[in-house]
Amino acid sequence: MPDGDITGPTIDVFDGIRDAVPAALAEHLRTVRLIDHHVHGAFHKPVDRAAFEASLNEGSTDPIPDFMTQFDSPLGLSIRRWCAPVLGLPARADTEDYWKRRSELSPDELAALMLPAAGVDRWIVDTGFQGDLITTPQRLTELSGRPSSEILRLERLAQTLLESGTSPEDFPAAFRATLSDAVDSPETVGTKTIAAYRTSFDIDWSRPDDQRVIEAARELAARDSQRVDSPVLIAFGVHEAADHGLPIQVHVGFGDRDLDLHRTDPMLLLPLLRTMAPVGVLLLHCYPFHRQAGYLAQAFDHVNFDVGLAINHLGARSGAVVAEALETAPFAKQLYSSDAFGPPELHLLGSVLWRRTMGLALGEWVRTGDCSESDAIRIVDMIGVHNATRVYAL
């Protein structure tokens, strides 16, 4: 398979829709090397089928019920269609055949097949969740042959400081010092908040003074668990990251069931967006609030967004959400991500589906005369590569 071309003897991204995508646009989408600006590592230990199927369900950690399989989902169908050929099977291989073949390969062998085939030029990796289960950024680089950068989770930083014995009185200064180190580190290119999971967005986003921060840290330190769910500490972390000039990723919308989805509408972030230092804000995933995210990206110069997580999980229907994401926001404010975690199929599938759906959406605009083919190629490059380069100062 040629370097940078995910279309080869095993994958034809435009299978079934070749007539819908103009030739030059299709060729560019086949070969453009993407920046995956929000991704996690791949499994580094073998997983059984139950664990594999559980990793295909974003909303629940419960065992898959006996009456169903996650292969019978939009994501499962897409894995059988696009990933089976990479394993030497026919597209849409039978579920049992897919699992049997997959089980014959080690985690490293699976990753070495799937990761390079994604055609990603750089991974920007969030290491803050279940890092013991997945490859480090360095290992992701070794298996894919492409460099990785890192994202610092703000809640994880706060928790680590308190668990390591930092006193509440020293907490504000220690937090700032770590952020200063992150600014100076070539590996760290941004930060992330998971306020959606810890407090939701309908909190007081005003900047707390150090005394309030110390009091909140004291309350948290006195608990059995230092899991950061304090609105004061979360608002403090976001404002400090912005003051240090670090881009801030924000999980929005669709995710595990321990978040209250209706309280993760990004419109609830307006008080923060209006008052924070204007560093790059990256609204992640956003489904089903991607239209609200598009409005915010249009209204605020420092706001950007993606629909990354939704693309894999919507599978054959991902074209709808990609087209809707193109409705309002300037093209310079959108980015590509897969949000892949665990199975390396997800790192590959995000790329395949994004290329395919961008071809469908922009191909329609070209056919109807709403943009030229060169315009469409430029839009692909902005969303797939250039916007991430600018926001993260790569």
Task: Count CB neighbours of 226 within 10 A.
Answer: 17
**Long-range CB contacts (within 8 A, 24+) of 301-307:** 302/273, 302/278, 303/273, 303/333, 304/280, 304/333, 304/334, 304/335, 304/387, 304/391, 305/252, 305/266, 305/329, 305/333, 305/334, 305/335, 306/37, 306/38, 306/282, 306/334, 306/335, 306/336, 306/337
Position 101 in a domain = no
Q: What's the pLDDT score for residue 45? A: 94
Q: Which residue has the tokens 């950061």?
A: 228
The range of the structural domain enclosing residue 222 comes to: 18-48+106-392
Angle between helices 154-163 and 171-184 (to 10 degrees): 130
Position 64 in a domain = no
Position 258 in a domain = yes
Give pLDDT tens digits along the chain (394 positions).
334 566 566 789 999 999 999 999 999 999 999 999 999 999 999 999 999 999 998 766 677 888 989 999 999 999 999 999 999 999 999 999 999 999 999 999 999 999 999 999 999 999 876 667 899 999 999 999 999 999 999 999 999 999 999 999 999 999 999 999 999 999 999 999 999 999 999 999 999 999 999 999 999 999 999 999 999 999 999 999 999 999 999 999 988 888 999 999 999 999 999 999 999 999 999 999 999 999 999 999 999 999 999 999 999 999 999 999 999 999 999 999 999 999 999 999 999 999 999 999 999 999 999 999 999 999 999 999 999 999 999 9
Q: What's the pLDDT score for residue 5? A: 65
Q: Any idea what the Cα angle at residue 361 is, between residues 355 and 362, rounded to 5°?
A: 85
Domain count for the chain: 1
Position 128 in a domain = yes
Q: What's the pLDDT score for residue 62? A: 75
Report pTM.
0.95
Position 7 in a domain = no
What single letter denotes the amino acid at residue 153? R
Order the strands of the 281-285 sheet from edge to edge. Answer: 34-39, 120-126, 148-153, 188-193, 248-252, 281-285, 303-305
Q: What's the pLDDT score for residue 9? A: 61
Position 344 in a domain = yes
Position 287 in a domain = yes
Q: Any idea what the Cα angle at residue 101 is, between residues 98 and 107, rounded to 5°?
A: 105
Position 360 in a domain = yes
What letter does residue 146 receive in the DSSP assignment? S
- Distance CA(347)–CA(111), nearest Å, equals 9
Cα–chain-centroid distance for residue 317?
18
Helix (H) or strand (E) holding 188: strand 188-193
33 phi and psi angles, rounded to 5 deg: -95, 120
| CATH code where residue 163 lies | 3.20.20.140
